């Protein structure tokens, strides 16, 4: 009897387990799915709450749009430390934001242009690092080795090259078009540019345009931000960090661009879709070395330079350096590394005599006379100011 009851109870328990198994399995799947979903949700960036400048100010955070005594005190402190050049007016605008960014960068803080708790705490301490005083312009051609600026060798935001001139004061508008009137460069490099364009004209290669030269720190910041914004508009699902990574392949961080040296120029042909397909580029690739220029970023050296190839970006390094790099197929990083480790001997400069200089002056005078005779022929074609350029340049 007992044995019969036991068997019945065991059979009933087995039946219950058989019925419950599918439910338990489904529950486990649902739980796992719920966990995965929760994980995905936690991994997604949480949108920052939106606050007005006055609301942030009430929380002790000063940003663009804030105003009042707290901003006045902030501006005065930034001015005392040498970061703010504008007036102290109690209005947190673009100038104040740039001053805050400069302070943050020099003091090892997050550079967001927002004066929050950490920034304000550092700002009002005695050990706050001030801006450098009387930053002198740098002679970028003084050394025997070309100056290297890239992601690993940046200049600071106070760096300014010596002997900057406006291109339009040296380059004849009949010889080359300057896209932006105030474009500047170091005099020696601009004069080399003039010689190169004159030589190109002799070979009947004309219609050049210079679209970029020297850039300030702020210029580079604006350029990078514009590129990031462009990527985000085209790719709505991209995060800010992804857009920034993409932008940095063609636009350098502020401080890491050769344009800060005043020795780099971006060339193009008004109206041309791609510079690399023009006869001007073909001539440049063959002859720029003779005038001290290199094509800085090529496809073959992309892994070394860290930037996408740019057919239009040339850099002045001096004739002896440029010709050595061409003959040995070296980019600037390889060339300088070779000099530093002793495998490359620095080429010696050819000394010019007074006689050579006089002859050069005579040649220039002859060229000017010829330019006057062929004024109509030498004039570049007129193009709208917004002629198409290639990708944003480094």
CATH code of the domain containing 250: 3.30.1380.10
Phi-psi category of residue 315: left, alpha or beta, with phi > 0 → left and psi -120 to 50 → alpha: beta
Same-domain status, 196 and 330: yes
Strand ranges of the sheet holding 310-316, from the earlier edge strand across to the other edge = 176-178, 208-212, 264-268, 310-316, 293-297
Per-residue pLDDT averaged across 246-261, rounded? 92
Q: Considering only the C-alpha atoms of the chain, give the largest distance between any 2 of them, rounded to a whole number of Å.
A: 131
Same-domain status, 181 and 250: yes
Six-digit token string for 2: 């007992």
Rounded distance, CA 229 to CA 116, Å? 25
Same-domain status, 223 and 360: yes
CATH number at residue 107: 1.10.101.10
In a domain, 155, yes or no: no
pLDDT of residue 97: 87
How many other CB atoms are found less than 10 A from the CB of residue 114? Answer: 19
Question: Is 60 exceeded by the pLDDT of residue 18?
Answer: no
The residue out of 73, 107, 123 marking a domain boundary is 123
Mean pLDDT of the chain: 81
In a domain, 187, yes or no: yes
Rounded distance, CA 381 to CA 209, Å? 10
In a domain, 105, yes or no: yes
The residue out of 70, 96, 123 marking a domain boundary is 123
The residue out of 74, 96, 123 marking a domain boundary is 123
Calculate the dihedral angle through the C-alpha atoms of 214, 377, 268, 164, rounding to the nearest 10 degrees: -10
pLDDT bin (cut points 50, 70, 90) of residue 78 is very high
Rounded distance, CA 313 to CA 154, Å? 18
In a domain, 133, yes or no: no
Range of the domain at 95: 53-123
Per-residue pLDDT averaged across 259-279, rounded? 96
Rounded distance, CA 209 to CA 227, Å? 22
Rounded distance, CA 181 to CA 154, Å? 27
176-178 and 208-212: which strand pairing?
Answer: parallel
In a domain, 304, yes or no: yes
Rounded distance, CA 335 to CA 317, Å? 11
% the chain with pLDDT above 70: 76
- Cβ partners under 8 Å of residue 209, min gap 6: 176, 177, 178, 179, 267, 268, 269, 270, 380, 383, 387
pLDDT of residue 358: 38
Rounded distance, CA 270 to CA 389, Å? 8
pLDDT of residue 158: 85
Q: Give how many domains the chain has, as a whole number.
A: 2
Beta bridge mates, 198: none
Per-residue pLDDT averaged across 237-264, rounded? 93
Same-domain status, 306 and 236: yes
Nearest to 218, CA basis, from 164, 158, 168, 178: 158
Tell me if 339 sits within 8 A of 148, measured CB to CB.
Answer: no
Tell me if 291 sits within 8 A of 191, measured CB to CB.
Answer: no
pLDDT of residue 211: 96
pLDDT bin (cut points 50, 70, 90) of residue 218 is confident
pLDDT of residue 15: 52
pLDDT of residue 352: 37
Rounded distance, CA 394 to CA 391, Å? 9
Same-domain status, 90 and 202: no
Same-domain status, 202 and 59: no
Same-domain status, 182 and 102: no
How many other CB atoms are found less than 10 A from the CB of residue 306? Answer: 17
Per-residue pLDDT averaged across 171-199, rounded? 96
Structural element, H or E, at residue 57 = helix 53-58
Rounded distance, CA 332 to CA 300, Å? 13
Per-residue pLDDT averaged across 254-273, rounded? 95
How many other CB atoms are found less than 10 A from the CB of residue 350? Answer: 8
Cβ-count burial 324-349 (b if 16+ within 10 Å, e if not): bbbeeebbbbbbbebbeeeebeebee
Rounded distance, CA 252 to CA 392, Å? 10
User: pLDDT digit string (tens) for 101-157?
Assistant: 889 988 999 888 899 999 999 999 999 999 887 678 999 999 999 999 998 899 988
pLDDT of residue 374: 33
**Between residues 359 and 287, which one has the greater pLDDT?**
287
Same-domain status, 330 and 262: yes
Same-domain status, 117 and 204: no
In a domain, 259, yes or no: yes
In a domain, 16, yes or no: no
Same-domain status, 103 and 235: no
In a domain, 193, yes or no: yes
Same-domain status, 106 and 185: no
Question: Is 90 exceeded by the pLDDT of residue 10?
Answer: no
% the chain with pLDDT above 90: 60
Same-domain status, 119 and 205: no
To 10 degrees, what angle do helices 69-80 and 94-106 make?
50
């Amino acid at each position: 009897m007992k044995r019969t009851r036991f068997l019945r109870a065991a059979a009933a328990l087995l039946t219950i387990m058989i019925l419950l198994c599918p439910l338990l399995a489904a529950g486990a799947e649902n739980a796992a799915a719920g966990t995965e979903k929760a994980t995905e949700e936690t991994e997604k960036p949480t949108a920052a709450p939106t606050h007005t400048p006055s609301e942030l100010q009430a929380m002790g955070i000063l940003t663009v749009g804030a105003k009042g005594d707290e901003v006045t005190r902030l501006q005065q402190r930034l001015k005392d430390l040498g970061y703010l050049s504008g007036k102290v007016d109690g209005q947190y605008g673009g100038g104040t934001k740039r001053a805050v960014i400069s302070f943050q960068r020099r003091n090892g803080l997050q550079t967001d242009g927002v004066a929050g708790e950490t920034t304000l705490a550092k700002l009002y301490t005695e050990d706050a690092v001030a801006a450098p005083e009387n930053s002198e312009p740098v002679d970028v051609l003084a050394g025997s080795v070309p100056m290297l600026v890239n992601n690993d060798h940046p200049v600071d935001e106070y760096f300014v090259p010596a002997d900057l001139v406006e291109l339009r004061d040296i380059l004849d508008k009949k010889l080359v078009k300057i896209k932006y009137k105030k474009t500047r460069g170091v005099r020696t490099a601009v004069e080399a540019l003039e010689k190169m364009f004159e030589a190109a004209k002799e070979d009947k290669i004309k219609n050049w345009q210079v679209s970029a030269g020297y850039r300030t720190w702020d210029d580079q910041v604006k350029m990078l931000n514009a590129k990031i914004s462009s990527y985000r508009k085209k790719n709505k699902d991209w995060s800010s960090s992804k857009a920034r990574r993409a932008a940095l392949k063609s636009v350098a961080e502020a401080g890491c661009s050769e344009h800060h040296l005043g020795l780099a120029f971006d060339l193009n042909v008004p109206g041309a879709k791609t510079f690399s397909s023009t006869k001007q580029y073909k001539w440049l690739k063959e002859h720029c070395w003779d005038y001290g220029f290199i094509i800085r970023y090529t496809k073959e050296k992309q892994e070394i330079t860290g930037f996408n190839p740019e057919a239009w970006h040339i850099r002045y390094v001096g004739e002896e350096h440029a010709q050595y790099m061409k003959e040995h197929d070296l980019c600037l990083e390889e060339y300088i590394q070779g000099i530093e480790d002793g495998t490359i001997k620095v080429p010696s400069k050819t000394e010019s005599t007074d006689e050579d200089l006089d002859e050069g002056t005579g040649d220039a005078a002859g060229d000017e006379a010829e330019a006057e005779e062929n004024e109509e022929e030498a004039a570049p074609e007129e193009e709208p100011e917004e002629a198409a350029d290639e990708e944003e340049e480094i």
